[in-house]
C-alpha cells in the first residue's frame, strides 16, 4: 500500500488531496485547499503555503507526491507568481524526502476522464467514481483537482516503476 499526495499549485488557492493505493484500488484519505491571505506580501504568502503544506505532509505522511505542471497564462506576471507558488509546492515535499512527480493538465485529464480537454465537472465526477464516492460532497474544485493529480500518479506508477528498474 502506498500513500500519494496530489497537489494543484496556486498562490491564492493550492489544492491538496491524499489517497491510498493498494494495487488497483484507491481510497480517499483527506483533501482541502490552502488559502494564504491576500493581504500578506508575496514572500509571506509563499512562507504560509510552505508551512501549511509541511503540516499536511507531517499529518498524512505520504510516500510520494504528484504536482500539476504549470500552464502559461496570457499575463506574464500571473505566470511568474504561479511559478513561485509551484516552486514551494515542489520544494516542500522534496525537503521532507518525499519523491515528487509532475504531470501536465492534459495528462491528468486524459488519465482520469479519457479526454485531455475535459472540464472540471467531468474531472470531479470521475474522481468521485474512482474513489468509490467516499469524497465529501462539498469538496472545493482545487481539492478535487488535487485528488485527480494523485489518482493520475497512481495509475502511472506501474509504468514509472518499470522505467526506474531499467
Q: Where are the domains of the chain?
A: 2-165
As a whole-number percent, the residues of the chain with pLDDT over 70 amount to 93
Least-confidence region, from 10-24, 35-49, 76-90: 76-90
The rounded distance, in Å, linking the Cα atoms of 100 and 4 is 10
- CATH top class, domain 2-165: alpha beta
The predicted structure's pLDDT at residue 165: 45
Q: How far apart are CA 109 and CA 114, in angstroms?
A: 7
Cβ-contact 38, 12 below 8 angstroms = yes
pTM of the predicted model, to two decimals?
0.92
Residue 12 in grid coordinates: 491564492
**Is pLDDT above 70 for 162?**
no
Active-site residue numbers? 8, 68, 142
Amino acid at each position: 500500500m502506498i500513500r500519494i499526495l496530489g497537489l494543484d499549485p496556486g498562490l491564492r488557492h493550492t489544492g491538496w488531496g491524499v489517497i491510498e493505493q493498494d494495487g488497483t484500488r484507491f481510497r480517499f484519505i483527506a483533501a482541502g485547499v490552502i488559502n494564504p491571505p491576500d493581504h500578506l506580501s508575496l514572500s509571506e504568502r509563499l512562507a504560509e503555503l510552505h508551512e501549511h503544506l509541511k503540516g499536511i505532509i507531517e499529518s498524512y505522511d505520504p510516500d510520494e507526491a504528484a504536482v500539476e505542471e504549470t500552464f502559461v497564462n496570457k499575463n506574464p506576471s500571473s505566470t511568474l507568481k504561479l511559478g513561485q507558488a509551484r516552486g514551494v509546492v515542489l520544494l516542500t515535499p522534496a525537503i521532507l524526502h518525499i519523491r515528487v512527480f509532475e504531470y501536465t493538465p492534459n495528462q491528468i485529464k486524459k488519465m482520469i476522464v479519457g479526454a485531455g480537454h475535459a472540464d472540471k465537472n467531468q474531472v470531479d465526477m470521475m474522481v468521485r467514481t474512482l474513489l468509490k464516492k467516499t469524497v465529501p460532497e462539498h469538496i472545493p474544485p482545487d481539492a478535487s483537482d488535487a485528488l485527480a493529480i494523485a489518482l493520475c500518479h497512481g495509475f502511472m506508477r506501474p509504468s514509472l516503476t518499470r522505467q526506474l528498474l531499467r
